[in-house]
A = this chain, B = another copy of it.
Amino acid sequence: MTTQFEPLLEPIRTKGNVVLATHLNPDGDALGSLLGLADILELMGKRVFRYLEKPVSQLYSFIPGSDLAETGLDDLAEFVRQSGDDIMCIALDCGDRKRLGKYGPELLKIRPFLVIDHHKGNDGFGDFAWIDPKRSSTGEMIFDLAAELGQAVSDKAAYALFTAIVTDTGSFRYESTTAHTFDVARQLVNLGVQPDLVSRNIYDNFTAERLQLMQRVLATLEILHDGRIAVILVTREMLDQTGCTMEDTENFINLPRAITTVQVAVFLKETAEDMVSVSMRAKDTCDVADIASRFGGGGHRNAAGFRAADTTVDSVWQRLFPVLQQGMDH
């Protein structure tokens, strides 16, 4: 295992057949880096198998090459058989071998197995791992890789890599955004990317119904504990009234979290008649993973949650609120 760049170059230069894989429930960086690298490798004359457990979701279907992804285990096995020894597998943006999905064990049999990732917690599985937590995204790393290989990046690959960077930096807003990130973005635009086309696909993708749901959810906003706790609520009735599903509530919790004084934002979701799901987002002063664990849930220090059965939203909140207050005051 190594986290160096150089040991990856030889297999990438010489192997004629490549299986690309990424993590379960792939986000824009996972898909963008996979589809971008696939295009780069094909321009080098290689055969590429773009492996995903499921077809690309509607949200990311605008990424060039998303229609070329393959999901069949039989097709994968056939590709591997045809390739003989002239093969390698590259896992992209995947911080943990367990996150490769149900066919992970099959993928890991392909040797050499390479890992390219920017997640800090990645322990460097596989034969050669290049892990750089200073990079905003795996997409940013793939651009550097192409430069190192002296390989041209097509406009299609440029779109894929730009999408990767935009999604993993929240459009150049997160701490991970560096001068190098902007330099790569500059070069991708010079290769033909129109930033607004990518952003429109990622951000201007609301339905009117979702905005109406957001309005109803915001109407439930309560600010408590000297402005330090904010809580919002979605009920099944609100979903019915607006024709939305629970997926439409994604990112709503960032709204109360954006209040300057708020240290912990809580989103209570009535997922079924007697089922409640709770999401929490914290800033600096509180460990919500610890609080979630007391209710049988988990997560990170800044983002955690839990589920509760045979109960109501009110009842969950009655139990959670005092624990939260205590967690913030210690």
| Segment from A73-81, A127-135, A251-259, A288-296 that makes contact with B | A251-259
State in angstroms the CA–CA spacing of A200 and B302 once bound together. Answer: 14
Q: Is the CB of B196 within 8 A of A175?
A: yes
Q: Is A195 an interface residue (CB 8 A)?
A: yes
**Cβ contact within 8 Å between B186 and A208:** no
Given contacts A182-B183, A183-B186, A195-B177, contact A261 B208 (CB under 8 A): yes
1/0 per residue A147-183: CB within 8 Å of B? 0000000000000000000000011111101110011
Q: Once the chains bind, are A195 and B172 in contact (CB under 8 Å)?
A: yes
By the criterion CB–CB under 8 Å, are B261 and A200 in contact?
A: no
Contact present for A205 and B172 (CB under 8 Å): no
How many copies of this kind of chain does the complex include? 2
Interface residues on A, range: 35 or more
Instruction: Report the stretch among A15-23, A49-57, A213-221 that lies at the interface.
Output: A213-221
Report if A71 contacts B (CB, 8 A): no
Contact B207 A214 (CB under 8 A): no
- Which of B199, B215, B259 lies in contact with A219, CB distance below 8 A? B215
In this assembly, does A34 line the interface, its C-beta being within 8 Å of a C-beta of chain B? no
Q: Mark A236-270, 1 if CB is under 8 A from B, else 0.
A: 00000000000000000001111111100000000
A189 within 8 A of B: yes
Contact B215 A218 (CB under 8 A): yes
Q: A172-B172, A177-B195, A195-B172 are in contact. Are A211 and B203 (CB under 8 A)?
A: no
Contact call B203/A258, Cβ cutoff below 8 A:
yes
Does the CB pair B194–A175 fall under 8 Å? yes
Q: Indicate if the CB atoms of A227 and B206 lie closer than 8 Å.
A: no
Assess whether A195 is in contact with B207, with CB atoms less than 8 Å apart: no
Q: Is A230 an interface residue (CB 8 A)?
A: yes
Complex: A261 Cα to B203 Cα, angstroms:
13
Inter-chain contacts of A189 with B (CB < 8 A): 177-179, 182
Is A38 part of the binding interface, using a Cβ–Cβ cutoff of 8 Å? no
Complex CA–CA separation, A175 to B211 (angstroms): 23
CA distance A324 to B117 in the complex (A): 48
- Bound complex: CA A179 to CA B177 (Å): 16
Q: How far is B206's CA from A24's CA once the two chains are assembled, in angstroms?
A: 32
CB-CB nearest in chain B for A136 = B195
A183 contact set on B, CB distance < 8 A: 182-183, 186
Interface: A185 (CB within 8 A):
yes
Known: A175-B194, A194-B175. A215 touches B206 (CB 8 A): no
Q: Which residues of B contact A257 (CB under 8 A)?
A: 204
Residue A190 interfacial (CB < 8 Å): yes
CB-based contact A255/B175 at 8 Å = no
Offer 24 A-B interface pairs, CB within 8 angstroms, sorted by A.
A170-B171, A171-B171, A171-B173, A172-B185, A172-B195, A173-B195, A173-B196, A174-B195, A174-B196, A175-B196, A177-B189, A183-B186, A204-B258, A204-B259, A204-B260, A204-B283, A205-B258, A207-B259, A208-B223, A208-B262, A211-B221, A211-B259, A212-B218, A218-B218
Give the 9 A-B residue pairs with the shortest CB-CB distance, closest first: A215-B218, A173-B199, A182-B186, A179-B189, A175-B196, A177-B195, A206-B258, A182-B185, A204-B258
